[in-house]
Amino acid sequence: MKRRSFLGWALGPAVLSGAGWAGSLGSAGPGAPSGLLDHTLPNGLRVWVSPDRRAPTAVHMLWVRVGSIDEVDGTSGIAHVLEHMMFKGTTRMGPGEFSRRVAAMGGRENAFTSYDYTAYYQQIPARHVADAMALEAERFAHNAWSDDEFRREIEVVKEERRLRTEDNPQALLSEALHATAFVASPYHRPVIGWMDDLDAMTADDVRGFWRQWYVPANAALVVVGDVDPAKVLADAERHYGPLIARPVPARKPRREPEQRGPRRVVVKAVAEQAAVAMAFKVPRLSAFDDSAEARDAVALTVLAAVLDGYAGARLERTLTQGPDRLADRVGASNGLMGRGPQLFVLEGIPAAGKTSEQLEAALLAQVRRVAEEGVSEAELARVKTQWVAAEVYKRDQLMNQASELGRAWALGLPADASVRLIERLRAVSAQQVREVAARYFGEDGQTTAVLVPQRGTPRPRPAVPMGRH
């Protein structure tokens, strides 16, 4: 249970791991990156270009607002399978040719799928941005591959599920936690998909999903690097502009009903240590307004940072140190924002001689301690200082800049979302942190997953080669 940054929403998606902002869509915002170009092509495709001329390189990303949240029962994992198939050819390029052409440019490329979106990227010399556009626009509009190619690749995806989930006891625990916490929300299903659905999936299922969701108005181009925004826009109009405009499919709400009592699930798996994870339903940050939900979402994220946002934070200091320590590892994280409902998660691995029940009680006790005693101004200042520092340092990498912009678009946020979020952070008071610690951790909204170790032997290494995609 590796500690996640309390900036997890901005630093990385729930990749095979989660309502627009009022008045923001269509506006970069006052705190957007300097020189940012924000334009929408006539076919609906959004274009964001941010110049950074410190090195002659660029990142070209195409984001599609489709992820596992858009799947329906019986087709779980199809968004991720399509991501794999996007590398398998077009009407003019054979399997693997896309990757070979990017490599010939001196670049590298890959893609990722999350609950909320799918993204494709190339890190290339800046002079090749237009070349990357030509390739990406080609496969977006003309993806094509044989049934035999699909049958080979679906076996790769199934092996990926075995390696990342079925052979990973803590991944199984996380999967069971989400499947138990969510009933109606599509977050109930794993991004990688259920194995039965992968077994039953057909090539035509995947082609249909591509035709349904890969439309220009459901996509955004993000380019960051040593580029001239006007030239990039002209190239985008040339390569992406001809893509045929089609309406984005209507999305049904599939709202999660109120949880009316505690839920508990036990996972038995081959493992060396037990583990426990507790999830609590919390509000998501869906607008930069003055609502209680917006204030509480940010305060909960600060609470997660107080508990587990830095080396020696409260959970680590109180539960993993000393001769009578309760845990080998502990963690806390808050979902903060996404297209679906969010969870605050407390998790840990009991130390030798300690039980999951003891650790569960200790983790909850640390939250109650904040609710009863609050946090000091010095502790709050430390969390805020580290948050701002993380924002500054991450912008040293073009990939981070492009990913931040792409995620903002995919979640319906303005380009300056991280700046606005820091402003909200700075306004969080110790009293607000204390209040959310008291408000959201009752047992009626709690879901607990416990890993019970079983004896066994590791599965033999896979016969199917694992690709990058």
Count of H-run helices and E-run strands, the chain: 16, 11
Q: How far apart are CA 419 and CA 179, in angstroms?
A: 34
Same domain, 107 and 142: yes
Amino acid at 113: T
Residue 345 pairs in a beta bridge with 279, 333
The reply to whether 365 and 308 lie within a common domain is yes
What is the predicted pLDDT for the residue at 35? Answer: 87
Question: Are residues 330 and 233 part of one domain?
Answer: no
Asked about 149 being catalytic, the answer comes back as: no
- Would you state the pLDDT for residue 140? 98
- Produce one character per residue of 62-96: b if its CB has 16 or more CB atoms within 10 Å, e if not: bbbbbbbbbbeeebbbbbbbbbbbbbbbbeebebe
pLDDT tens by residue, 97-144: 999 999 999 999 999 999 999 999 999 999 999 999 999 999 999 999
Please write the tens of the pLDDT for every residue from 161-171.
Answer: 999 999 999 99
Report the pLDDT value the prediction gives residue 431, as an integer from 0 to 100: 98
- Mean pLDDT, consecutive 10-residue segments, the chain of 469 residues? 32 32 37 83 98 97 98 97 98 96 98 98 98 98 98 98 97 98 97 98 98 98 98 98 97 94 98 97 89 95 95 95 95 96 98 97 98 96 89 87 96 90 92 98 97 83 54
> Where in the sequence is the domain holding 434, given as residue range(s)?
263-454
Query: Which of 207, 239, 271 finishes a domain?
Result: 239
pLDDT digits (tens, 9 = 90+) for 26-43: 345 555 667 899 999 999
Residue 5 counted as domain residue: no
Q: What are residue 343's phi and psi, to 5 degrees?
A: -125, 145
Q: How many CB atoms lie within 10 A of CB 377?
A: 10
Q: Are residues 206 and 296 in the same domain?
A: no
- State how many domains the chain has: 2
Do 206 and 285 belong to one domain? no
Question: Do both 200 and 138 map to the same domain?
Answer: yes
Residue from 83, 109, 136, 153 carrying the catalytic annotation = 83
Provide the pLDDT for residue 120: 98
Is residue 79 domain-shared with residue 211, that is, in the same domain?
yes
Q: What is the pTM of this model?
A: 0.91
Structure tokens at 328: 């080998």
Q: What is the CATH number of the domain that holds 267?
A: 3.30.830.10
Answer yes or no: is 1 within a domain.
no
- pLDDT of 392: 78
Q: 334 and 428 share a domain? A: yes
Same domain, 224 and 279: no
| Within-domain flag for 3 | no
Q: In what order do the strands lie in the sheet with 37-40?
A: 37-40, 46-51, 219-225, 57-64, 118-125, 108-113
Three-point CA angle 91, 93, 99, nearest 5° = 140
